[in-house]
Structure 1
């Protein structure tokens, strides 16, 4: 495999610094989805943890390193899930955490950031403007800026999902893994492990049509930015891909696809009706990809990573009905 920024031995070491609450998440075949989707579908459930998303894997690595080095403060920009995770991991290690988010982020996510003890600053713009503000705070206060996907710890923490998937292959065989694509930490992390340890598994990234920057960048093999985003999948709604992350993605992903909003909502309904799972829109992207291209996945053994369940209840009821 060509070299990414990630390292498999470092990923194994990262797993040892992560609270077991975030490790060994359930992976199981959801047989009632098979007739609906035309393939064998297993779900890797990254919501059964204190922050209800996979992000805690990466923030555990970062917070452990910061505490060991004597650092006492960190700041991040977040669409909601990273902020919750950094707040949770930082609180347990005595870190002073600031999270910058859009005031238009789901209220449930913002409330949980506060509940975990972080200082929350809201901006009037979107995630990328929150990212700019977090950078300003880090420079002003001389503290660690945690940048999702750019920071290797976030990618290698997420990559521990890949280790668990590889270890489960004998019990739960699969030939395809579907991964929500936003900033790229989860996609590059899991993708790296798959290409290193299970190269026969196809790695397919999924992004909303209303937030396509990273997918466009993947296919053009250069950074493509967009002026705006328009999707209910707020967790993956970035406009400015990070060049180093794109370089990694190009080495480990086999494809990146875009899906429509109606397919995301249909995926949420299927996960509720057939798996009993209440998920945020980003977590339904894998199912949406199958719905939009049934022929591609027909007869295959697919794992979809259910990456988060932090969703505003009122919005969820409007979407799912």
Structure 2
């Protein structure tokens, strides 16, 4: 494999910096899903931790390194999950955390950021406008900016999931990964292509937020004017060139799925696995639903990446 920005030795070392509460999350085969999907499905459950998403793996690395350096302040933009995770990790290390988010982000995510003690600033726009504002704050205040996916700590923290998948039994032949900014996909993809190159790495994104997938297909950055999806956690418009370069080296495919398939995936995870998940976490199931022939009689793993969802909206979607 050609070299990405990530380093497998650093990823192994990352496990020593990350609070064990985020590590070795459950991985299990969900037989109840198989009759409807036509394939064996195992779930990697990244919601079984204090921030209910995989993001804590990366923010633990960021906060640990900042504390070692004597830094006291950090800022990030977030669609909700990164902000919660950074607030949790920073609180335990005495960091002053500022999170910039869209005021249209799910209220449950915003409330949790406040509860965890971070200063929350809201912008009248989407996630990419929040990114611009966070960068302005970092420049003005001279503090560390954590930019998800561009920041290697976020990618290599997420990549520790890949180490856990490599050790998984029984054998599997594909992993379905939600694709947004790219930290999860490039991190897990790097480890799999380095240590289990026979496993197919398939990234999944909503049709209503296709920028990174279109960029992967064209092998150059493609931006979009807007997004239209319930999967707010992956709804970016401006892919980061360095992250795309990494993705091109580790992803075997990138697919787009419809909103109705995402909702159906959420409902299936509730009905057959007892899991309440946010839309981004159902993208893998949505991909199987839209292309059953591709996955027929295979064993796939889907990473359930987040469970922070506005319950009123969730009940509307899954009713």
TM-score for the superposition, normalised by structure 1: 0.99
Unaligned runs of at least 5 residues, structure 1: none
SS at match of 2:59: helix
Report the equivalent of 2:225: 227
1:92 aligns with 2:101: no
SS at match of 2:148: coil
Q: CA deviation at 1:167?
A: 1.1
Q: Give the 5 Å matches for 1:139-218.
A: 139-168=139-168, 171-218=169-216
Q: Give the 5 Å matches for 1:95-134.
A: 95-134=95-134
Q: CA deviation at 1:83?
A: 0.1
Report the equivalent of 2:294: 296
Aligned-residue CA RMSD (Å):
0.3
Q: Give the 5 Å matches for 1:65-80.
A: 65-80=65-80
- Distance, in Å, in 2 between the alignment partners of 1:160 and 1:172 is 19
SS at match of 1:49: coil
Q: Give the 5 Å matches for 1:264-275.
A: 264-275=262-273
Q: CA deviation at 1:46?
A: 0.1
Report the equivalent of 2:246: 248
Number of equivalences: 319
Unaligned runs of at least 5 residues, structure 2: none
- Distance, in Å, in 2 between the alignment partners of 1:123 and 1:151 is 22
- Distance, in Å, in 1 between the alignment partners of 2:218 and 2:295 is 24
- Distance, in Å, in 1 between the alignment partners of 2:76 and 2:314 is 26
- Distance, in Å, in 1 between the alignment partners of 2:203 and 2:194 is 17
- Distance, in Å, in 1 between the alignment partners of 2:53 and 2:19 is 14
Q: CA deviation at 1:173?
A: 1.6
1:103/1:123 contact within 8 Å kept: yes
TM-score for the superposition, normalised by structure 2: 1.00
State which of 277, 280, 293 in structure 1 corresponds to 2:278: 280
